[in-house]
Structure 1
Amino acid sequence: MAYTISTSLAVYFVIWWITLFLTLPFGVRSQHEDGKGTDGTDPGAPVLARMGRKLIWTTVISAVLFAAGMYAYRMGYFNIERLSKLMGVPI
Protein backbone atom coordinates (compact mmCIF):
# COMPACT_ATOMS: atom_id res chain seq x y z
CA MET A 1 0.00 0.00 0.00
CA ALA A 2 1.52 3.29 -1.11
CA TYR A 3 -0.23 5.38 1.52
CA THR A 4 1.06 4.62 4.96
CA ILE A 5 -0.23 6.39 8.03
CA SER A 6 2.71 8.80 8.13
CA THR A 7 2.34 9.64 4.43
CA SER A 8 -1.38 10.21 4.88
CA LEU A 9 -0.76 12.52 7.83
CA ALA A 10 1.85 14.46 5.86
CA VAL A 11 -0.49 14.89 2.89
CA TYR A 12 -3.33 15.94 5.17
CA PHE A 13 -1.06 18.43 6.94
CA VAL A 14 -0.03 20.04 3.63
CA ILE A 15 -3.67 20.27 2.51
CA TRP A 16 -4.63 21.70 5.92
CA TRP A 17 -1.88 24.33 5.81
CA ILE A 18 -2.77 25.47 2.28
CA THR A 19 -6.45 25.61 3.21
CA LEU A 20 -5.62 27.67 6.29
CA PHE A 21 -3.93 30.31 4.15
CA LEU A 22 -6.93 30.29 1.81
CA THR A 23 -9.42 30.83 4.63
CA LEU A 24 -7.50 33.49 6.57
CA PRO A 25 -8.76 36.56 4.65
CA PHE A 26 -12.47 35.66 4.84
CA GLY A 27 -14.53 37.69 7.29
CA VAL A 28 -11.69 39.93 8.45
CA ARG A 29 -12.37 43.63 8.89
CA SER A 30 -9.44 45.97 9.27
CA GLN A 31 -9.29 48.84 11.73
CA HIS A 32 -9.48 51.25 8.80
CA GLU A 33 -12.69 49.65 7.48
CA ASP A 34 -14.23 49.49 10.94
CA GLY A 35 -13.28 53.06 11.85
CA LYS A 36 -11.99 52.05 15.28
CA GLY A 37 -8.24 52.43 15.01
CA THR A 38 -5.98 52.20 18.03
CA ASP A 39 -3.07 54.62 18.25
CA GLY A 40 0.25 53.04 17.34
CA THR A 41 -1.20 50.14 15.36
CA ASP A 42 -1.37 49.56 11.64
CA PRO A 43 -4.68 50.60 10.07
CA GLY A 44 -4.74 47.31 8.17
CA ALA A 45 -4.58 45.22 11.34
CA PRO A 46 -7.68 43.08 11.89
CA VAL A 47 -10.24 44.10 14.48
CA LEU A 48 -11.39 40.54 15.18
CA ALA A 49 -9.63 37.64 13.46
CA ARG A 50 -11.94 34.81 14.67
CA MET A 51 -9.19 32.22 14.46
CA GLY A 52 -11.17 29.49 16.22
CA ARG A 53 -13.86 29.57 13.55
CA LYS A 54 -11.24 29.60 10.80
CA LEU A 55 -9.41 26.62 12.29
CA ILE A 56 -12.65 24.63 12.41
CA TRP A 57 -13.51 25.53 8.80
CA THR A 58 -9.95 24.72 7.72
CA THR A 59 -10.17 21.29 9.33
CA VAL A 60 -13.55 20.51 7.74
CA ILE A 61 -12.55 21.67 4.26
CA SER A 62 -9.22 19.85 4.47
CA ALA A 63 -10.92 16.63 5.55
CA VAL A 64 -13.29 16.81 2.57
CA LEU A 65 -10.44 17.50 0.13
CA PHE A 66 -8.33 14.72 1.63
CA ALA A 67 -11.24 12.26 1.47
CA ALA A 68 -11.87 13.16 -2.18
CA GLY A 69 -8.17 12.66 -2.95
CA MET A 70 -8.07 9.31 -1.18
CA TYR A 71 -11.20 8.20 -2.99
CA ALA A 72 -9.65 9.16 -6.33
CA TYR A 73 -6.46 7.33 -5.38
CA ARG A 74 -8.36 4.18 -4.36
CA MET A 75 -10.35 4.25 -7.59
CA GLY A 76 -7.12 4.36 -9.60
CA TYR A 77 -7.15 7.94 -10.85
CA PHE A 78 -3.87 8.80 -9.11
CA ASN A 79 -1.66 5.87 -10.04
CA ILE A 80 1.75 6.31 -11.65
CA GLU A 81 0.83 4.67 -14.95
CA ARG A 82 -2.19 6.87 -15.53
CA LEU A 83 -0.43 10.09 -14.52
CA SER A 84 2.66 9.34 -16.64
CA LYS A 85 0.49 8.58 -19.67
CA LEU A 86 -1.41 11.81 -19.10
CA MET A 87 1.83 13.81 -19.03
CA GLY A 88 3.35 11.92 -21.97
CA VAL A 89 6.23 10.50 -19.96
CA PRO A 90 7.14 6.89 -20.78
CA ILE A 91 7.58 4.55 -17.83
Structure 2
Amino acid sequence: MSVTGGLVLFAVIWFITFFIALQIRPGSQAEEGHVVPGTPPGAPANFQLKRKIIWTTMFAVVIWSIIAAVIVSGVFTLRDIDWFGRLDDMPQGQ
Protein backbone atom coordinates (compact mmCIF):
# COMPACT_ATOMS: atom_id res chain seq x y z
CA MET A 1 0.00 0.00 0.00
CA SER A 2 1.38 3.40 -0.93
CA VAL A 3 1.38 6.47 1.32
CA THR A 4 -1.38 8.03 -0.77
CA GLY A 5 -3.44 4.85 -0.57
CA GLY A 6 -2.97 4.77 3.19
CA LEU A 7 -4.07 8.39 3.55
CA VAL A 8 -7.14 7.87 1.36
CA LEU A 9 -8.05 4.74 3.31
CA PHE A 10 -7.70 6.65 6.59
CA ALA A 11 -9.83 9.55 5.30
CA VAL A 12 -12.61 7.21 4.18
CA ILE A 13 -12.58 5.34 7.49
CA TRP A 14 -12.48 8.61 9.45
CA PHE A 15 -15.47 10.13 7.67
CA ILE A 16 -17.55 6.95 7.92
CA THR A 17 -16.76 6.75 11.64
CA PHE A 18 -17.54 10.46 12.06
CA PHE A 19 -20.94 10.18 10.40
CA ILE A 20 -21.75 7.29 12.73
CA ALA A 21 -20.55 9.26 15.76
CA LEU A 22 -22.75 12.22 14.86
CA GLN A 23 -25.82 10.05 15.40
CA ILE A 24 -24.84 8.96 18.92
CA ARG A 25 -26.72 10.87 21.64
CA PRO A 26 -27.62 13.99 19.65
CA GLY A 27 -30.00 15.39 22.35
CA SER A 28 -32.46 17.77 20.70
CA GLN A 29 -33.49 21.17 22.02
CA ALA A 30 -37.05 19.92 22.51
CA GLU A 31 -35.79 17.14 24.79
CA GLU A 32 -33.75 19.66 26.82
CA GLY A 33 -36.79 21.94 27.16
CA HIS A 34 -35.08 25.08 25.82
CA VAL A 35 -35.62 25.87 22.12
CA VAL A 36 -33.54 28.79 20.82
CA PRO A 37 -35.78 31.16 18.84
CA GLY A 38 -35.32 30.76 15.08
CA THR A 39 -34.16 27.13 15.27
CA PRO A 40 -36.18 23.95 14.85
CA PRO A 41 -37.00 21.98 18.01
CA GLY A 42 -35.09 18.99 16.63
CA ALA A 43 -31.79 20.92 16.46
CA PRO A 44 -29.04 19.58 18.72
CA ALA A 45 -28.86 21.15 22.16
CA ASN A 46 -25.38 20.09 23.27
CA PHE A 47 -23.54 19.02 20.15
CA GLN A 48 -20.05 18.31 21.62
CA LEU A 49 -18.32 18.41 18.23
CA LYS A 50 -14.78 18.51 19.63
CA ARG A 51 -15.40 15.40 21.74
CA LYS A 52 -16.87 13.53 18.77
CA ILE A 53 -13.91 14.47 16.56
CA ILE A 54 -11.44 13.19 19.18
CA TRP A 55 -13.31 9.89 19.63
CA THR A 56 -13.70 9.52 15.87
CA THR A 57 -9.97 9.96 15.36
CA MET A 58 -9.13 7.37 18.04
CA PHE A 59 -11.51 4.78 16.61
CA ALA A 60 -10.42 5.51 13.03
CA VAL A 61 -6.75 4.99 13.93
CA VAL A 62 -7.54 1.60 15.46
CA ILE A 63 -9.72 0.48 12.54
CA TRP A 64 -7.21 1.82 9.98
CA SER A 65 -4.33 0.04 11.73
CA ILE A 66 -6.13 -3.30 11.54
CA ILE A 67 -7.16 -2.90 7.89
CA ALA A 68 -3.72 -1.56 6.84
CA ALA A 69 -1.98 -4.45 8.61
CA VAL A 70 -4.14 -6.96 6.75
CA ILE A 71 -3.48 -5.26 3.40
CA VAL A 72 0.28 -4.92 3.93
CA SER A 73 0.69 -8.46 5.29
CA GLY A 74 -0.89 -9.96 2.19
CA VAL A 75 -3.20 -12.26 4.17
CA PHE A 76 -5.97 -11.33 1.75
CA THR A 77 -5.36 -10.23 -1.80
CA LEU A 78 -7.62 -8.93 -4.53
CA ARG A 79 -7.63 -12.41 -6.09
CA ASP A 80 -9.03 -13.86 -2.85
CA ILE A 81 -12.19 -11.78 -3.18
CA ASP A 82 -12.55 -12.15 -6.96
CA TRP A 83 -15.74 -14.20 -6.84
CA PHE A 84 -16.52 -13.92 -10.54
CA GLY A 85 -13.08 -14.76 -11.95
CA ARG A 86 -12.50 -11.36 -13.54
CA LEU A 87 -8.79 -11.37 -12.64
CA ASP A 88 -8.01 -14.77 -14.17
CA ASP A 89 -6.82 -13.20 -17.43
CA MET A 90 -4.42 -10.79 -15.69
CA PRO A 91 -0.77 -11.67 -15.04
CA GLN A 92 0.11 -12.52 -11.42
CA GLY A 93 2.16 -9.35 -10.90
CA GLN A 94 -0.85 -7.00 -11.11
Normalised by the length of structure 2, the TM-score is: 0.83
**Segments of 4+ moved more than 2 angstroms:** 74-78
Instruction: Tell me if the contact between 2:6 and 2:68 (Cα under 8 Å) persists in the aligned partners.
Output: no
**Corresponding residue SS for 2:40:** coil
1:25 aligns with 2:23: yes
1:7 aligns with 2:30: no
Cα distance, 1:74 vs. partner?
A: 3.0
**In structure 2, what residue type is equivalent to 1:89?**
G
Residue deviations 1:9-28 (CA, integer Å, cap 9, x gap)? 01100110111000002122
Residue deviations 1:25-77 (CA, integer Å, cap 9, x gap)? 21221011111112221000011110111001110111111111012223323
CA RMSD of aligned residues (A): 1.3
Comparing both structures, which one devotes a greater share of its residues to helix?
A: 1
Normalised by the length of structure 1, the TM-score is: 0.86
Q: Which of 82, 85, 88 is the aligned partner of 1:89?
A: 85
1:51 aligns with 2:74: no
**Corresponding residue SS for 2:43:** coil
Q: Which runs of 5+ in 1 are unaligned?
A: none
Cα distance, 1:89 vs. partner?
A: 1.8
Cα distance, 1:80 vs. partner?
A: 1.7
Q: Which runs of 5+ in 2 are unaligned?
A: 89-94
- Structure 1 equivalent of residue 92 of structure 2: none
